Amino acid sequence: MRSKNWVLLGAAALLAVPLFGSTYYGGVEDWKSGDYDYNDIVFSLAGSNLALHSTSAQWFAAPALGTGGAPFWNHSSDDGPQENVGYCIYGGGVCNGGTALDPGAKYLATNATSPTGSVNAVTFSATGEVVMNIALQITAARDWIGWYSLSDPNEINWLNPDSRGGSFTFNPGGAFGLVEGNSRFRFYSEDQYGTQDHVSHFAFFDPPGVAAVPEPSALGLTGLALIGTGLVSFRRKQRHRKAASNTVAL
């Protein structure tokens, strides 16, 4: 292949490096004791370079739905036995009309030795705008949901203080957490700021795997390698031409 073609291929690979967007689904439970069905607000969170962070939690494959409490958000619901957030995410039951929001998604739990344990310290990071879609509300308390910057967890930016559903866009400007509540209570995705009952009031779900796509860094390295190959090939040809020219001159 000509050196020019190597360079063009490399440049094309660099230009093709995508800004991956991420989507997470979640549910919130506003009780300190009770059914823990996590369906008081069901939402999705999306944005370019959006990432979920937790010190010890891990993702686990979608379980068979039931009412036995495994995983932690799959208890029988006081709103109806098949209105757990699991049914909202995976489909079936009464929640969301039986239509799955994210079939096959993984769920977040404490760690490998406790795949049913709730996570009480979850934060996010983003480099731009984040969009939250409130897909469902089943609650008599008319809960709100919002976000807070990790630099000031006391300042809550409520997205729906009128308790309405819909789509909401915000720019956290860096690392942030989520909070749910109303005029009487607040539950944080970082439990240390909220109820401190060592039980997460948020459940999180990650989209199922999709066809393998090269990571941006890998694709970028490939592009640089192709450009490098082209430059090396070009310089080698230049040396050969110079050597041939010198031979003729002699």
Note whether 42 and 154 are same-domain residues: yes
Residue span of the structural domain in which 241 resides:
3-15+216-249
Q: How many residues does the chain have?
A: 250
Beta pairing partners, 46? 23, 131
Cα separation, 194 vs 158, whole angstroms: 15
- Amino acid 142: pLDDT: 81
Torsion sign over Cα 90, 53, 115, 80: negative
Is residue 51 within 8 A of residue 110, CB to CB? The reply is no
Is pLDDT at 56 greater than 50 in this prediction? yes
Residue 221 covered by a domain:
yes
Note whether 98 and 187 are same-domain residues: yes
Cα separation, 170 vs 145, whole angstroms: 13
Note whether 155 and 116 are same-domain residues: yes
Cα separation, 24 vs 127, whole angstroms: 16
Residue 136 — pLDDT band, cuts 50, 70, 90? confident
Instruction: Name which residue leads in pLDDT, 137 or 248.
Output: 137
Residue 228 — pLDDT band, cuts 50, 70, 90? very low
